[in-house]
Structure 1
Amino acid sequence: MDSEDKTTNKGEQKSRKFLKSLIRKQPQELLLVIGTGVSAAVAPGIPALCSWRSCIEAVIEAAEQLEVLHPGDVAEFRRKVMKDRDLLVVAHDLIRKMSPRTGDTKPNFFQDCLMEVFDSLEQHIQNPLVLQSILGLMDKGTMVLTTNYDNLLELFGQQQNRPMESLDLKDKTKVLQWARGHIKYGVLHIHGLYTDPCGMVLDPSGYKDVTQDPEVMEVLQNLYRTKSFLFVGCGETLRDQIFQALFLYSVPNKVDLEHYMVVLKDNEDHFYKHQADMLLHGIKVVSYGDRFDLFPGYVQDLTTQICKQRSPDAERVDSTTFLGNACQDCAKRKMEENGMETPKKLRQPDTDDAGGS
């Protein structure tokens, strides 16, 4: 970074340029994918929200404190978390260790550990700026899904009087309603939610019924073909097996799509390589800056720009209303000139009649 860049870095949020192809999207054209970076920015006081590794470490710590895992197993799982690259396997083994061997996942100590880790989440919201920005997009029709187990967005939205709803992939009816745009304030948790550990899934086999259901898969993959996915606070989401099974498999010509990913640029070489690699998936990678504390302000500025967009329908209504009024005035004058009685003005529909969500 040269001296000029260092000088302007502090004002980066105000002067930053956004991709025109992104900020000119209508909110309803976007599908927001939320990762751990959002939770980490909102509730930095809960380490388990910062990353998948931190979450597993917190669960192991809770298991040790609650004495629901043998000390030898605690030591072994800590070693695996430090050394194993495939954390999903570690997490899967950890869940099984604290669950019955009968195949029925209730009751289990894993749920108690999660409750310990994520207790009273709403009390730990320190920086709601990102959540407020996301709600602004949802108000205007942006759909939201998350790989997170927490429900911080739903809790905050309820505080803001939004009818938030947490959705699980195992509820086919709800998934289809959400995918078709009928649940405006629904948040789809593709890995499940901590409040229902039995619904938490770590690999596609856990959603075998979903991935083998042609109707569900078609409606979900259609979203990837027709919406612009905006990945926010996501690290390696495209490597996530469940995301791959739901959205990437069987979707041809991904390079022709136009999705977006907002990332930290802490290493220039890595960033530009990642940028080039993601273009092969039809994803444009952009940076919010070289420091994580720039993330909330960037998201706010970005969503503000997108929410400013005026929908084509609104512009069409304005133009036709203007022309319609002019034509009505002309017709009225013609009728008066011919001695005809003008019709009474039709009653305007009440707001409730217009079909609120």
Structure 2
Amino acid sequence: MDSLEKMTSSSEQKSSRKFLKSLIQKQPQELLLVMGTGVSAAVAPGIPALRSWRSCLEAVLEAAEQLEVLHPGDVARFRRKVTKDRDLLVVAHDLIRKMSPRTGDTKPNFFQDCLMEVFDDLERHIQNPLVLQAVLGLMERGTLVLTTNYDNLLELFGQQQNKPMESLDLKDKTKVLQWARGHVKYGVLHIHGLYTDPCGMVLDPSGYKDVTQDPEVMEVLQSLYRTKSFLFVGCGETLRDQIFQALFLYSVPNKVDLEHYMVVLKEGEDQFFKHQADMLLHGIKVVSYGASFDHFPGYVQDLASRICRQRSPDADRVDSTTLLGSACQGCAKRKLEENGTEVSKQLRQSDDAGAS
């Protein structure tokens, strides 16, 4: 059974599931998918560091202790901060600085060694690729993808599927502009950087001063927030993320007029509906995938399948190697054969008429 059949079968089995019409009727190229830690946690549950920012920092501190690259007193102090502090991005920023030279430069640093220890041999830990398969299906049909995650699970999985995946960093202006304009089909923009290149990892806007002060880059990125529908998947505190705010939220007026979407766990009714009301002020419609994280992979798979069914204006030119193109290949072939037969008939009739 191929990917499309699996996704279609899943959709049929869950036909009772309700989705917002305004979301599932979007063309894939109208969306920008924002992947958070929930995606990585679903794909590789065997790596605790992928479950959340808190889990990641705890794992880094454990590695720092085992590798003896951070003073025991500092390890204890940061563990307390990870447990008590709400703004974990600030804690992460301070931790990176602590493990870096006093000059404020982030290279060389021991943080890289700790991350390499935490994220060692990622592809071997991919257990539930359903979400990644769904994301690839959307990318094949034009959805842009960015992530706040350090890991490259999506790229590793895509490479296994023979896709020319690229990991992009905000500091590469040329690539960022190409990606934003839809010219890097299999590009994944890591707005915090990637663990394989910690020198490019930044946790606050000051680290991307050149980016945020570049009017061309900022206009292109903020234009995405105005013209695309962002789909937040596996995201928790993304809107509180300083880099995300600097890139997409600042200077974007009338957010309530926008139409973005956030898929979340429904932990409690009061909390969920309050969150829903609050997010509408940002132009974000919050929807629930269920009351258990176990429902997350199936929901995303089903949602992506329904969106991918939308017929795009250039559907007749969809490459047969795409997720839906393979399903339409037989239909297209029959259509061409029927058209050829019809043309041959018309030619014969014309010849017969001329002969008479």
On whether the aligned pair clears a TM of 0.5, the verdict is yes
Instruction: Provide runs of 4+ in structure 1 moved above 4 Å.
Output: 11-14, 315-318, 327-339
Question: What is the aligned partner in structure 2 of residue 178 from structure 1?
Answer: 179
After TM superposition, list the pairs within 5 Å mapping 1:177-326 onto structure 2. Answer: 177-314=178-315
Paired residue secondary structure (1:15): coil
SS at match of 1:183: coil
* Residue number in structure 1 paired with 2:326: none
1:89-114: per-residue Cα shift (whole Å, max 9, x none)? 22122111211113433221111011
- Helix, strand or coil at the partner of 1:192: coil
1:62 matched residue in structure 2: 63
Larger Rg: 1
Alignment-derived partner of residue 86 in structure 1: 87
- Give the whole-Å Cα distance in 1 for the aligned partners of 2:128 and 2:196: 23
Contact 2:89 2:241 in 1 (8 A): no
* d(CA) in 2 for partners of 1:76, 1:68: 15
Aligned partner of 1:124 in structure 2 is 125
> How far is the alpha carbon of 1:86 from its aligned partner?
2.0
Corresponding residue SS for 2:146? strand
Supply the AA of the counterpart residue of 2:261.
Answer: Y
1:280-324 superposed Cα distances (whole Å, 9 cap, x missing partner): 111111100000000000011111111111113337999xx9xx9
Residues 301 and 194 of structure 1: is their aligned pair in 2 closer, same or farther, counting only changes over 3 Å?
Answer: same
Q: Tell me the equivalent position of 2:98.
A: 97
Q: Which residue of 2 aligns with 1:166?
A: 167
Equivalent residue runs for 1:20-169 within 5 Å: 20-169=21-170
TM-score by length of 2: 0.86
Quick one: which amino acid aligns to residue 92 of structure 1? H
Write the deviation string for residues 242-270 of structure 1: whole angstroms up to 9, x where unpaired. 11111111111111111111000011111
CA contact (8 A) 2:49 2:58 kept: yes
Would you say how many aligned residue pairs link Structure 1 and Structure 2? 327
Q: Which runs of 5+ in 1 are unaligned?
A: 1-10, 340-357
**Residue 7 of structure 2 aligns with which residue?**
none
Identity of matched residues, %? 85
Task: Check whether the contact 1:221–1:246 (CA below 8 A) recurs between aligned residues.
Answer: yes
Q: Tell me how far 1:14 sits from its aligned partner.
A: 4.3
Pair 253,62 (structure 1): closer, same or farther in 2 beyond 3 Å: same
Give the Cα separation in 2 of the matches to 1:98 and 1:61: 14
- Measured at CA, do residues 38 and 316 of structure 1 come closer, stay the same or move farther in structure 2, by a change above 3 Å? closer
8 Å contact 1:42–1:127 — kept in the other structure? yes
Q: Is 1:16 aligned to 2:17, yes or no?
A: yes
Deviating more after overlay: 14-23 vs 163-172: 14-23
On the 8 A contact 1:154/1:187 being kept in 2, the answer is yes
Match of 1:343 in 2: none
Instruction: Describe the shift of the 1:137–1:71 C-alpha distance in structure 2 as closer, same or farther (beyond 3 A).
Output: same
Tell whether the 8 Å contact from 2:99 to 2:110 is kept in structure 1 after alignment: yes
Amino acid at match of 1:170: K
Shift of 1:196: 0.8
Specify the code of the residue in structure 2 equivalent to 1:260. Y
Return 44-53 or 81-90, whichever deviates more. Answer: 81-90
| CA distance, structure 2, for counterparts of residue 315 and residue 115 of structure 1 | 45
Q: Distance in 2 between matches of 1:222 and 1:250?
A: 11
| Unmatched 5+ stretches in structure 2 | 1-11, 319-331
Which whole-Å CA distance do the structure 2 matches of 1:139 and 1:81 have between them?
38
Instruction: Please give the root-mean-square deviation of Cα atoms over the aligned residues, in Å.
Output: 2.6
**Aligned in 2, Cα 1:64/1:22: closer, same or farther, shift over 3 Å?**
same
In the alignment, the residues of structure 1 paired with residue 206 and residue 233 of structure 2 have an alpha-carbon distance, to the nearest angstrom, of 26
Distance change in 2, residues 1:331/1:213 (3 Å): farther
TM-score, scaled relative to structure 1: 0.85
